[in-house]
Structures are given as C-alpha cells and as structure tokens.
Amino acid sequence: MAEYQDCFFTNTDGLKQHYRDYNTAPEGAPVVLCMPGLTRNPKDFSDIADHLADRCRIIAVANRGRGKSEYDTDPSRYMPMTYVADVMALLNHLGIDQVIAIGTSLGGLMTILIGALHPGTLKAAVINDIGPEVDPVGIARIKSYVGKGTPPETWDDAVAGVKRANAGVYPDFSEDDWRWYTENLYEDVNGKPVVQYDPAISQNFENADDQSAPDLWPFFKAMYTVPTVVLRGELSDILSAATLTRMADEHPDLTPVTVPNLGHVPLMREPECKAAIDELIARVT
C-alpha cells in the first residue's frame, strides 16, 4: 500500500477535519483531491491512491461527520455548499491553488460546485457516477438505509447488512469483496464494527430533495473548460445513461466511461476506470 499520513485541519466552523495525505510523489507533482460519497470516507480511495501515488500527491478528505472528522452539532450544516467551503479551507490550509478532483457521488456534486463557485481551482476532474441531475430511484434507495437500522453487533452482521443494501449494486462481488467494502464503511472498535458517519447526515437528505440532489445543470456549464472524465456503473440508479449522454454532448472535453455489470458506484479499481484516469492525468500534466 502507498504510504500516507493522517492529518487534520480546522474547517470554517471550527471543526477538526481529517484527510489522508499521500505525499510521496516527486516535488512538483500534480495534486489529486479525492472527495467521497455521502456516508463514505477516505478509505474508499486507497486503491486508486496506490495506483497514482508514484506520480501524484493524493489528498483524500473526510467530510465533517464522517470518518475521523468531528461531527457537527448543527446537522443543518450537513449539505454540499458547506462541504465545498470545508474543502476550500483545506486547500487554503495546504497552500494549494489547483487540483485534479476525483469526486464520488456526493463528492462529484462537490466537484461541480467547486468548478462553478471557485473558477480556476480544477485543472481536471473525475466525476464518479453522478451528474447535474440525479435519478430519484437511487435517492429513494439511499434514503431507505442512511441513518437507519440497528447498529451491528458483529462483523458478520455488518457485512450482511451492507450486502442487503447493495445486493443489486455489485452482483459479481465475492465474500472477500463484501468484507473489504464493509471494512471501508466501519471502524473496528474493541472487536465491534462502528459505522463511520454521523446518522444525523440523513436529516437534510430526508427533508429536502434539493439539498441531496439539486439541479446542477447551470453549474455544470462552468465545467466546460475543465477536462473531465465521468464514470458510470452500467446498473447505476443515480446517474442515468441519458444524463451521461447529455453531459457528454454538452461538455466539449468529457470522456464518458461505463463500467459493465455494477451499479452506484464504480470503485475505481476497475481497469477501464484506471485507464481513463491515467489518460486524463497524463494529458493535463
């Protein structure tokens, strides 16, 4: 595994926020900023970080209320605009002006917002299985489990619960794959799995669709000058094939990649994902 340091910064609301810093590439290497999905954390990027760490500095952030980042006592602040402000605070903390963004799901929405609200920050972007509009079928599925249910007592229980929620997403997963995927979501605390997100993140998500899945087509126009790869799982219920087609038609420098026989989201360990990311980074650096 590539070496990294667990680091922290203080965000705009005074919360201590975690990020992994894979800083072993040669001096002057491009910076890749990784932003995870709604309930996820920097561990999801371990494979793509291993793949890129010899030529890029990888910064993988844990949004407030996730992973090792502090939980917010005001759950109303769990929303994309806040997360974007946090990420910009991180880049300011590190003295970084420009990044290649990799945003998965919620992180992809954050990427689009950064492109619109902070022009010049994005040198290139990888948007993983989300777009300027989100399929309501997928939103309903995610709402059905985020912040709900009884915490698992054992790792076997945790794996079983993750399989139930994602059975149609990764039909080719082996038992080892399910264990790996579950271990990225949970932390081992005295032998018991503890989920790595604040259940309160579901409050805004439940109460207002426009906070979890806003119409970002007007914002997406700002991405037209940013070389972009969009990854989509063939079975995705978040990013429809029609939305991906429209994104590719409207964006003058967008490479669409569809990964067969999986849903939301590709894990970026798939060969076609790595190849597209490699080509993008080589082209802009």
CA torsion, ordered 133, 139, 140, 143, to nearest 10 deg:
-150
pLDDT value of residue 99: 98
User: Parallel, antiparallel, or unpaired for β 99-104 and 122-128?
Assistant: parallel
- In this predicted model, what pLDDT tens digit does every residue of 65-113 receive, in sequence order? 999 999 999 999 999 999 999 999 999 999 999 999 999 999 999 999 9
What sign does the dihedral 92-96-97-102 (CA atoms) show? negative
Task: Report the alpha-carbon distance of residue 190 to residue 8 in Å, rounded.
Answer: 24
- In this predicted model, what pLDDT tens digit does every residue of 27-56 receive, in sequence order? 999 999 999 999 999 999 999 999 999 999
Tell me: pLDDT of 149 over 80.
no
Asked if residues 131 and 247 have their Cβ atoms less than 8 Å apart, the reply is: yes
CA torsion, ordered 133, 202, 258, 169, to nearest 10 deg:
-140
Task: Report the alpha-carbon distance of residue 223 to residue 233 in Å, rounded.
Answer: 21
Neighbours of 104 (CB within 10 A): 28
- Give the list of residues 6+ apart from residue 23 with CB closer than 8 angstroms, or none: 4, 5, 57
Neighbours of 3 (CB within 10 A): 9
Q: 268: burial class by Cβ within 10 Å (0-12, 13-18, 19+)?
A: buried
Tell me: pLDDT of 204 over 90.
no
- Give the list of residues 6+ apart from residue 36 with CB closer than 8 angstroms, or none: 42, 44, 45, 60, 61, 62, 63, 66, 104, 105, 106, 107
CA torsion, ordered 70, 75, 79, 81, to nearest 10 deg:
-70
Q: Find where tokens 């949004």 sit.
A: 63
What are the structural domains, with CATH classification, of the chain? 5-135+214-284 (3.40.50.1820)
Task: Report the alpha-carbon distance of residue 108 to residue 103 in Å, rounded.
Answer: 4
Task: Report the alpha-carbon distance of residue 148 to residue 38 in Å, rounded.
Answer: 14
- In this predicted model, what pLDDT tens digit does every residue of 163-201 receive, in sequence order? 988 989 999 999 999 999 999 999 999 999 999 999 999
Q: Which of 75, 83, 90, 116 is nearest to 31 (CA)?
A: 90
pLDDT value of residue 126: 98
Q: Which element (helix H / strand E) includes 104?
A: strand 99-104
Tell me: pLDDT of 211 over 80.
no
